[in-house]
């Protein structure tokens, strides 16, 4: 009986090829953060994704809508064309569309965001690129607001 030769599963191949300490650290960090989906190059998806909790990593092409209480990473080869409304977003690839973030938006080195963003915290690393309008909510803490008014009147 002849046994077919099967390719190695993609996940194992990735684990074996991560020799650089930067990539090992990134993988370790992702696994600690409750990774619920990992989309790699060669996958193209169009539609709606709802993330109830956890982290979705796009390193592929996605077009549509992403929403929920989870987090999104657009990795180096990721190209996301979508309206995004989630807890947090980190971009090293390309994200095009309106982005509503509850906690923070990070545009990392070589990351690109094209569209309007709504976030209380925006971090753009050197080499990151943003083209659009940025809307940041005003501070809601009344003690901070009254202290600021007090200092402005002096």
Residue 89 near residue 106, CB atoms below 8 Å: yes
Q: How far apart are CA 5 and CA 1, in angstroms?
A: 13
Higher local confidence (pLDDT), 67 or 138: 67
Alpha helices (runs of H) in 1-154, residue ranges in sequence order: 10-17, 21-32, 142-153
| Per-residue pLDDT at 10 | 43
Question: Is residue 17 domain-resident?
Answer: yes
The average confidence (pLDDT) of the chain is 80
Q: How far apart are CA 129 and CA 12, in angstroms?
A: 33
| Per-residue pLDDT at 4 | 40
Higher local confidence (pLDDT), 148 or 49: 49
Question: Is residue 5 domain-resident?
Answer: no
30-68 per-position pLDDT tens digit: 555 677 888 899 989 999 999 999 999 999 999 999 999
Residue 57 near residue 73, CB atoms below 8 Å: yes
| pLDDT of 122 above 50 | yes
| pLDDT of 109 above 50 | yes
Mean pLDDT of 59-82: 96
**What domain range includes position 62?**
10-153
Question: Is residue 4 domain-resident?
Answer: no
Neighbours of 140 (CB within 10 A): 8
Q: Tell how strand 134-135 and strand 61-68 pair up.
A: unpaired
Q: How far apart are CA 22 and CA 18, in angstroms?
A: 9
Question: Is residue 59 domain-resident?
Answer: yes
Give the predicted TM-score (pTM) of the model: 0.72
The count of structural domains within the chain is: 1
Question: Is residue 113 domain-resident?
Answer: yes
């Amino acid at each position: 009986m002849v046994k077919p030769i099967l390719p190695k599963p993609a996940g194992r191949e990735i684990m074996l090829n991560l020799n650089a300490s930067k990539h090992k650290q990134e993988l370790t960090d992702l696994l600690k953060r409750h990774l619920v989906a990992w989309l790699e190059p060669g996958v193209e998806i169009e539609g709606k994704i709802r993330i109830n909790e956890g982290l979705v990593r796009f390193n592929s092409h996605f077009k549509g809508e992403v929403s929920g209480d989870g987090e999104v990473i657009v990795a180096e080869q990721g190209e996301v064309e979508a309206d995004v409304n989630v807890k947090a977003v980190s971009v090293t690839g390309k994200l095009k569309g309106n982005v509503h973030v509850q906690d923070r938006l990070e545009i990392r080195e070589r990351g690109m965001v094209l569209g309007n963003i709504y976030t209380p915290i925006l971090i753009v690393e050197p080499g990151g690129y943003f083209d659009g309008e940025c809307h940041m909510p005003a501070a809601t803490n009344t003690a901070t607001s009254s202290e600021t008014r007090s200092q402005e009147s002096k």
